[in-house]
Structure 1
């Protein structure tokens, strides 16, 4: 089931895998201290933390497919109590996330006892994922309406309608004693361009079987700090066998820097910066990690 000499990482990890007897690949994501530090840094209300946590898991699961240096971003914009969620992974595993919300609208939803789904809290809008491979490469973005109970359901809709890749996503977020944990499972059907009619029928059966097995996973299993990814995959797919590939370690690491802030300010016009200057200094706070940067106006000009 595992490759010889493979690293064993038990938490804050993306674990890629492939079912040995079926044309199905996937990834498991487990997050402990990474998601906890990101969500608790801003003291997000529980509803906000759960949606942002889901965005972080999706960014890791989908971004784990990148075969080049880049940034995978999951972002939502809507007219609900939670107006924006942004979560991204910079390869090989730097995670960050941020959310905007209306406290009054959020309190109203809590008072109404609204179910914790996308339509109730994020409202009408869209979810987008962006692949940024740097200035020398074209940026790719996919957009889908905010439809479904969860962000994972929105992403499944995108793969079904736009990419036409059979995809199943499961995400779980848990908060216990003030500590956040998150986990996710993604499986995709591998296309076979040389498949015969007989093989297609067999592949359909294999995919349905993989879906059924993946559907048995519980939220507790996805977020368990004890159950290792390899053990979870063996429990789900041991009858068909599973090949594990090199895991990717995740860390809470923002991509902001003084150099990036300076370069961004240089794109502003002089009139745009006037209200930002105090005693010859412009102070910029990173919304993601709360780092503070003080840039001298003389350095911008």
Structure 2
């Protein structure tokens, strides 16, 4: 395989369908996107792993939704890792890339050295938020933190909140090709069974942690057999096959599911992208009084703000901020 073929699949999401099983799916590869996300901050390795997993889940989930603007994942816990937040912005126009950003808040002093990253989240919730833009009401669905990984949390969310059997197989980490510097790479597969769940499932409760629904609770008969067979095939995937770049997503799809009648659709490219701007920061500060703005003003006589996602730094003249602003932005700055 040529390096050009390898590069062509970096930072892409490939949609597919298994016609025999009535299952849809996605294969994602993140290379430059993940490197850009993680180099914005000096995260400890434990936090890096959680942000990498969340970003990969976001790429896979975001591409499955008919999205006009933004999908967000939020993980909040009472452990040392307090918040993991990601955004997936739909392509602005046909053929344009989708954009992804991610960020985490944590207590560095409370992190346990050598601990499993997921254990540092503690008790909390996993949320999916969908905002289709101006004139629409944002959707939010959430489920408790469950299982042993963020992938488990996402699977629980789809079973419990959407009653869609869903499975993820992910791999991520730092790797190095001959002659190149070490960098982050990630890859994953998402499977999702589309038929409606039994109308009695919700009232009966599930077999998962704390009575939460699992994929197995939603399917029976031929549908259950098809789902089990596809999952057994996915169980054979190897970490390096997921991450690549030696194995193209199309080759991996054939290797795993050739008997299921795989059919691919147009791949979606993704890139790192942040929506922050000076105007948006000004707007967020417009609710504050002159007194409030005064408390935010530094000894140097300016108000500063930093984007948590991309690290962009903004500086403002206090008189131009808040609902009691006495000066128009751009005058005297």
TM-score range, shorter chain: 0.7 to 0.9
Distance in 1 between residues matched to 2:223 and 2:147, nearest whole Å? 27
Structure 1: where are the runs of 5+ without partners?
Answer: 1-7, 194-199
Q: CA deviation at 1:214?
A: 1.5
Aligned residues: 282
Are 1:241 and 2:266 an aligned pair?
Answer: no
Distance in 2 between residues matched to 1:162 and 1:129, nearest whole Å? 10
Distance in 2 between residues matched to 1:51 and 1:68, nearest whole Å? 25
2:60 alignment partner in structure 1: 61
| Residues 257-296 of structure 1: pairs in structure 2 closer than 5 A | 257-278=277-298, 281-296=302-317
Match of 1:205, SS state, is helix
1:187 alignment partner in structure 2: 191
Of the two structures, which has the highest relative contact order with CA contacts closer than 8 Å and spacing of 6 or more? 1
Distance in 1 between residues matched to 2:255 and 2:148, nearest whole Å? 27
TM-score, L = length of structure 1: 0.88
Q: Say whether the 8 Å CA contact 2:293–2:318 is kept in structure 1.
A: no
Match of 1:239, SS state, is helix
When residues 292 and 115 of structure 1 are mapped into structure 2, their CA distance, relative to the original with a 3 A threshold, is closer
Larger radius of gyration: 2
| Residues 219-238 of structure 1: pairs in structure 2 closer than 5 A | 219-238=239-258
Q: CA deviation at 1:137?
A: 0.7
Cα distance per residue 1:139-192 (max 9 Å; x no partner): 111111111110010111112222111111122211235421111211111216
| Residues 1-301 of structure 1: pairs in structure 2 closer than 5 A | 9-92=8-91, 93-106=98-111, 109-110=112-113, 113-116=114-117, 118=118, 120-176=119-175, 178-191=182-195, 201-278=221-298, 281-300=302-321, 301=325
Distance in 1 between residues matched to 2:15 and 2:293, nearest whole Å? 46
Q: CA deviation at 1:268?
A: 2.5
Runs of 4+ in 1 over 4 A off after TM superposition: none
Match of 2:241, SS state, is helix
Q: CA deviation at 1:280?
A: 5.2
Q: Does 226-235 or 24-33 show the bigger shift?
A: 226-235
Q: Does 79-88 or 268-277 show the bigger shift?
A: 268-277
Match of 2:187, SS state, is strand
Distance in 1 between residues matched to 2:308 and 2:291, nearest whole Å? 23
Q: Say whether the 8 Å CA contact 1:9–1:249 is kept in structure 2.
A: no
Q: Say whether the 8 Å CA contact 1:77–1:83 is kept in structure 2.
A: yes
Distance in 2 between residues matched to 1:267 and 1:227, nearest whole Å? 52
Distance in 2 between residues matched to 1:247 and 1:273, nearest whole Å? 47
Q: How large is the Cα RMSD of the aligned pairs?
A: 1.9
Distance in 2 between residues matched to 1:103 and 1:63, nearest whole Å? 30
Distance in 2 between residues matched to 1:16 and 1:159, nearest whole Å? 18
Q: Say whether the 8 Å CA contact 2:40–2:309 is kept in structure 1.
A: no
Q: Say whether the 8 Å CA contact 2:143–2:160 is kept in structure 1.
A: no
Match of 1:161, SS state, is helix
Q: CA deviation at 1:38?
A: 1.0
